[in-house]
Structure formats: C-alpha cells, structure tokens
A = this chain, B = another copy of it.
Amino acid sequence: MIKQRLDDYRAPIEKVLQNCLQEEGVPEELLESMNYSLQAGGKRIRPVLCLVWAELLGQKKENVLHFCSSLELIHTYSLIHDDLPAMDNDDLRRGKASNHIRFGEALAILAGDGLLTRAFSMMLQSNLAPEAVLQAAGQISRAAGPAGMVGGQVLDMTLSGNKKMELEKLKEMHSRKTGAMIKSSCLAGAILARGGQEDQLRAEEYGAALGLAFQVADDILDITGDEARLGKPVGSDQARDKLTYPALLGLDESRRLGLEMVARAKQAIETYSGIQADFLRDLAGYIMDRVE
C-alpha cells in the first residue's frame, strides 16, 4: 500500500531523471557514466519528500518536478564519490559495479562533479517565483556543502573505527552526512509552495526525525537484513569497523531510537490532513516496519 503510493509519487520523477542529463555538448562517455549511476534505482526519497511537501502546502506537481528531481542528482553524486577507492572503496552499489569500477576513477570523479553541477542548473531553471527558487536552492546548497553533507562525510572518515565515540557525535555526523539533505528536501518543498514560517519549521522537524530514523533502520538492516534486498553484503558495516547505532547502542536500543524518531516525525505533522499528510505519516511508519 505505502509502496504503491511511493511508486506513484516516484513515477513522474523517474521520467524527469531519464532525460535530464541529455544536454547538447555533453561528451558521450560522461553522459553514460552519469546516467549509469542515476538510473541504478533507489527509493528517490529526497525528490519524493520535496514533491509531497510542496503538494501538501498547495503547490502543483508540474511546477516543482524538475527542482525535486534535481535532488536525486546530488544524492547520486555523493554516492559515486563516497564509493571511490580513496573514500569507502566500495566495489558494489545497489547490486551493480560501482561507478569507478565500471568507468574508471577519473570518469567517476567527473561524473560526480557533473551531477552536482547539473543539479544546480536544474534547480535554477525552475519556473517559479524567483525569490522562492533562490531560497530553496540556497537551502539545498548549504545542506549539501561543507557544513552539511560534505562535512558529514569528513566526520565519518575521521570517526570511523573510533568505538569510544559518544552517541551525540554519531548523531551529529549523520545529521550532516544524510540528515541535512533529507531535512532540506522537505524544507525546499515547503519553500517552493510558499509555506509560512510554521510550515517550514514543521517540514524541518519532520525531515530531521525521518532522516535519523532512516539511518538507524539502515544500520539495523545491515545486520539483520537479507543480501538480495540490500544489494550489498550483509554485515559490511561491521566488516569495515564502521561505527553504527547498533554497534554503539545494541539492536534493541537502536530499534527504540528509530521508533522514537518515527513518532517525532508524525508529531511534527499532526496538524495536517489529506492524502499527502497521510502519506508522510505512513512513510515514517514504514521505515521501522521494514526493520521488524
């Protein structure tokens, strides 16, 4: 049920993603490398969140579809660069050879650079009130930047294997590495719909709680999940001595934290009703349902 609704929201986004890199003058091998990773599947959760928040607050889908879709380009670039030998050195991504295994390191670095830059040109081409586009794209650029996602990856590298790290630092790292972009995807949708301060605050609260719940659930699934569904070997976090919530808190306490975040996400949007609000509630619940 939730999966079907997720697919429905995702369908028009997939359509945009299929063609959005086709610009005049892009070298063929670069286009192939970018598309290889962009078309590798994934939940498209950032574009979906942006779209649903925009619709929830009264914006039309067709007005925000390109902006929302561009968020997946940023996510994809971050995965390509994270997989590089100098970083996480991952050969597999979503069950397929990672970008640098397939195309070589140079093209993988450039495909990441290209996706990140193209994401901004997509955002800035939006046919909406210029102030709203500026504010939303500015928000995304900060969430993706040195104080957000890029900084989070640096923290992740520095902290990896440090078993004594406190929970607060782990949360801080994730709030930057994955949380900032998920939170900002919701916020950008609210901004593009010209939601007020209250709406924007709720979008941030919902997104922040949802982002943490996702991370906790991913960490748990790395231990208890099955390989086919994950698209990568079970236990890979442990194998590389990666610091995770289960490693720090144990499985039970991690589950409790995940459920608490789901509750907090639902609470943030309790004043809203309608199909979008219901979807956002069910999506939050679904995250920890996968884990049971």
Contact = CB atoms under 8 A, between A and B. Distances in A.
A105 B27 CA distance: 26
A214 to B, nearest CB: 21
Nearest to A25: B147
Given A113-B116, A130-B130, A154 B86 contact: no
Interface string A72-88: 00000100010010110
A249 B98 CA distance: 41
A141 to B, nearest CB: 4
Contacts of A120: 120, 137, 141, 145
Interface residues of A, number: 52
A184 to B, nearest CB: 12
Contact of A146 (B30, B142, B144): B30
Interface in A74-129: 77, 81, 84, 86-87, 104-107, 109-110, 112-114, 116-118, 120-121, 124-125
Interface of A: 21, 23-27, 29-31, 34, 77, 81, 84, 86-87, 104-107, 109-110, 112-114, 116-118, 120-121, 124-125, 130-131, 133-134, 137-138, 141-142, 144-148, 150-151, 153-155, 157-158, 176
Given A117-B145, A118-B146, 18 more contacts: A25-B147, A25-B148, A29-B158, A81-B109, A106-B157, A113-B113, A114-B150, A116-B116, A117-B141, A117-B146, A120-B120, A121-B142, A124-B141, A125-B138, A130-B131, A130-B134, A133-B134, A134-B134
24 contacts: A23-B147, A24-B147, A26-B151, A27-B146, A27-B155, A29-B154, A29-B158, A30-B151, A30-B154, A31-B146, A77-B113, A84-B106, A86-B106, A87-B109, A107-B157, A113-B113, A113-B150, A121-B141, A121-B142, A124-B134, A124-B138, A125-B138, A130-B133, A134-B134
